[in-house]
Copies of this chain bind each other. A is one copy, B any other.
Amino acid sequence: MSAALPPFPHTEEPFGRTELLQLDTAAHEPNACLRADAARNRARLLDAAARLVAEHGAAGVTMEAVAAAANVGKGTVFRRFGDRTGLLTALLDHSEKKFQAAFLGGPPPLGPGAPPVERLRAFGCAMLRRSAEQLDLQLAAEPSADRRFASPPLRVLHGHVVLLLRQAVPDADTELVAHTLMGYLNPVLIHHLTRQCGMPLERLEDGWTDLVDRVTAPACSTPAAPARRTSAAPAPGVNS
């Protein structure tokens, strides 16, 4: 119906189908097999974009402005990054990679070594703090609807949480619980709570640890939980 053939053959796959959990470095290592000029322009563009963001904030990152500032045609920007969110995402990529490395292989309590529940706590707090900076960029990069949850970075994060949850609360629909947890860390929500409602970040962090505790608490005889047809199975559809 709408599955248009790629208008640009080699657009930086806005959101490829990275298979499950694994550092998505390889698939995303940028200047890998790019033609020389392409790589050069990519660098120029990213550089220009960063400059613009520094000068005029995320809102100042106009596709035309970036193109101009990089001495490059508008079409080139779209070819490389697909669309605006693609460009912004690429800008955030560096910080993203660092964070992934931290909770996948770094030292405890974020990385492996600590008990799952504790890692969950650390995970959320780290994300909250990371979002506190970068908030404007993250908001601007927020893709509407579809891609939002399909994006590789989010998939990695989600997958990580699922893994930890499976250890902490095996008897649960971890997929769904993970989405709940991740929802709490949604930049849009964080923005609303901190910037619009004026909540201090500490309160959000407390809320997070409390949430983790509640969600991972042993099911100690909930009073009346009628007819729960809990289907905690891996699920039929394409997971994510």
Give A182 Cβ to nearest chain B Cβ, in Å: 9
Q: Are A214 and B213 in contact (CB under 8 A)?
A: no
Q: How far is the CA of A118 from the CA of B228 in the complex (A)?
A: 12
> Which interface class (under 10, 10 to 19, 20 to 34, 35 or more) fits A?
35 or more
Contacts of A184 in B (CB 8 A): 176, 179-180, 183
Q: Are A228 and B214 in contact (CB under 8 A)?
A: no
Q: Are B228 and A196 in contact (CB under 8 A)?
A: no
CB < 8 Å neighbour of A145 from B191, B215, B224: B191
Q: Are B203 and A235 in contact (CB under 8 A)?
A: yes
Q: Is A192 an interface residue (CB 8 A)?
A: yes
Chain A 213-229, CB-CB to B under 8 Å as 1, else 0, gives 11101111111110011
Q: Is A47 an interface residue (CB 8 A)?
A: no
Q: How many copies does the complex hold?
A: 2
Contacts of A191 in B (CB 8 A): 145-146
Contacts of A172 in B (CB 8 A): 210, 214
**A222 in contact with B228 given A183-B184, A189-B149 (CB within 8 Å):** no
Q: How far is the CA of A183 from the CA of B179 in the complex (A)?
A: 9
Q: How far is the CA of A212 from the CA of B218 in the complex (A)?
A: 14
Q: Are B240 and A228 in contact (CB under 8 A)?
A: no
Chain A 164-190, CB-CB to B under 8 Å as 1, else 0, gives 000000001100110110011010110
Q: Is A199 an interface residue (CB 8 A)?
A: yes
Counting chain B CB atoms within 10 Å of each CB, which of A146, A183, A229 scores highest? A183
Q: Are A196 and B142 in contact (CB under 8 A)?
A: no
A sample of 23 inter-chain contacts (CB < 8 A) reads A139-B145, A144-B144, A148-B188, A148-B192, A149-B196, A172-B214, A173-B206, A173-B210, A176-B184, A177-B210, A180-B180, A183-B184, A197-B235, A198-B236, A198-B238, A200-B236, A202-B229, A203-B231, A206-B228, A206-B230, A213-B219, A213-B228, A217-B219
**A189 in contact with B179 given A206-B231, A222-B213, A225-B209 (CB within 8 Å):** yes
Q: How far is the CA of A238 from the CA of B197 in the complex (A)?
A: 5
Contacts of A149 in B (CB 8 A): 188-189, 192, 196
**A145 in contact with B142 given A192-B240, A217-B217, A238-B198 (CB within 8 Å):** yes
Give A40 Cβ to nearest chain B Cβ, in Å: 33
Q: How far is the CA of A219 from the CA of B183 in the complex (A)?
A: 22
